[in-house]
Copies of this chain bind each other. A is one copy, B any other.
Amino acid sequence: MKGFAMLKIGETGWIEKDRPKCGPRDAIVRPTCLAPCTSDVHTVWEGAIGDRHNMILGHEAVGIVDEVGTEVKDFKPGDRVIVPAITPDWDSEAVQRGFPSQTGGACGGWKYSNFKDGVFGEFFHVNLADNNLAHLPEGMSQEAAVMITDMMSTGFMGAENAGIELGSTVAVLGIGAVGLCGIAGAKLRGAGRIFAVGTRPVSVEVAKKYGATDIISYRDGDTAEQILDATDGEGVDAVIISGGGPDILIDACKMAKAGSKISNNNYFGKGEGEKDTLPLCRVGWGFGMADKDIITGLCPGGRVRMERLADLITYGRMDPELLVTHKFKGFDKIEEALLLMKEKPRDLIKPVVLLE
């Protein structure tokens, strides 16, 4: 079968691979809608997770079940399914400790386009199908559903980890697709005022629709200072970091109240200096004593997560189609869509590729 792959750091291309094998609890899925992700860009062109050779890319997919293992109960060939970007080994140790995204080691729940071939192939493999697939609800568009798999799950996690209370003031740093879902998630958790930090007009428009009340641009000066000014020097109850380089943590420390949460869902592809570090602001962080907790996580995966986020769409709590600015048709358009994510033209939020 064909797949679009990372050949090595900095290089991509189409390759031929064997169709994946289906274990007794697994499924093989044929994708019907795919989306490339900024983390594919980090992986290929920044070498953020180290080298990979001839690994099929992609981890955002909906599709049709093509084959299931003998022990799979709830899915059968022909079923339309949502496939989470993160597919934990639910029967492993980290689950019992409460960290399903970290099964088998750090970020180990992230298998596609990390430890195994991703979803940009004619077929792809799903471990623990009963636990990691969700049925595509009737009437839900594929474009909406594919946004659940990573963008919504990751962006919402940013809001969930931010300890938002009803009426909290929140800042979201970065308004790419994940940041926009952070804004929507902050609203869904009950935030009052929401600062969105970013500049692209196409994203600003969606940010407002998703609940942002104030738009902050770095072009108007230091963003932390702008937010401090706007809040009479108080700062915010929660910062959600959904973009930026290492220095973004310094900004976050400065704009967070003493007594707040800094929630990171950014994938730091690069660090600073020889030691490859990420800097906190000593004074802004209150010398380590100002109750400014820094919470991290990897996109939650698994079936229940997908079903719950699908419910949010079904019941009208969130419209993820606003994220989809570019639609491609045909499997061979994956390359074009990924390069678009790399180039980030100003009218882009998120492209999808429809395969049927």
A residues at B contact (CB < 8 Å): 24-25, 48-49, 90-102, 105-108, 128, 130-131, 156, 160, 165-169, 185, 187-190, 192-194, 213, 237, 241, 246, 249-250, 257-259, 264-272, 275-283, 285-298, 302-305, 307-312, 314-315, 317
Taking a contact as CB atoms closer than 8 A, the residue among B167, B187, B189, B298 that contacts A290 in the complex is: B298
User: In the complex, A303→B90 CA distance in Å?
Assistant: 13
Number of this chain's copies in the assembly equals 4
User: In the complex, A49→B259 CA distance in Å?
Assistant: 19
Residues on the B chain within 8 Å of A105, using CB: 258
Asked if residues B192 and A315 are in contact (CB atoms below 8 Å), the reply is: yes
Residues on the B chain within 8 Å of A282, using CB: 246, 268, 270-271, 276-278
Asked if residues B302 and A98 are in contact (CB atoms below 8 Å), the reply is: no
Asked if residues A91 and B128 are in contact (CB atoms below 8 Å), the reply is: yes
User: In the complex, A193→B312 CA distance in Å?
Assistant: 8
Residues on the B chain within 8 Å of A48, using CB: 287
Instruction: A102-B257, A250-B275, A289-B296 are known; give 10 further A-B pairs, CB within 8 A.
Output: A98-B98, A102-B258, A106-B289, A165-B308, A213-B315, A268-B288, A271-B282, A276-B281, A293-B293, A293-B294
Asked if residues A101 and B278 are in contact (CB atoms below 8 Å), the reply is: no
**Residues A131 and B185 in contact in the complex (CB < 8 Å), given A160-B166, A279-B277, A287-B48:** no
Residues on the B chain within 8 Å of A190, using CB: 185, 188-190, 312, 317
**Residues A285 and B296 in contact in the complex (CB < 8 Å), given A308-B167, A312-B166:** yes
**Smallest Cβ distance from A104 to chain B, in angstroms?**
9
Asked if residues A107 and B308 are in contact (CB atoms below 8 Å), the reply is: no
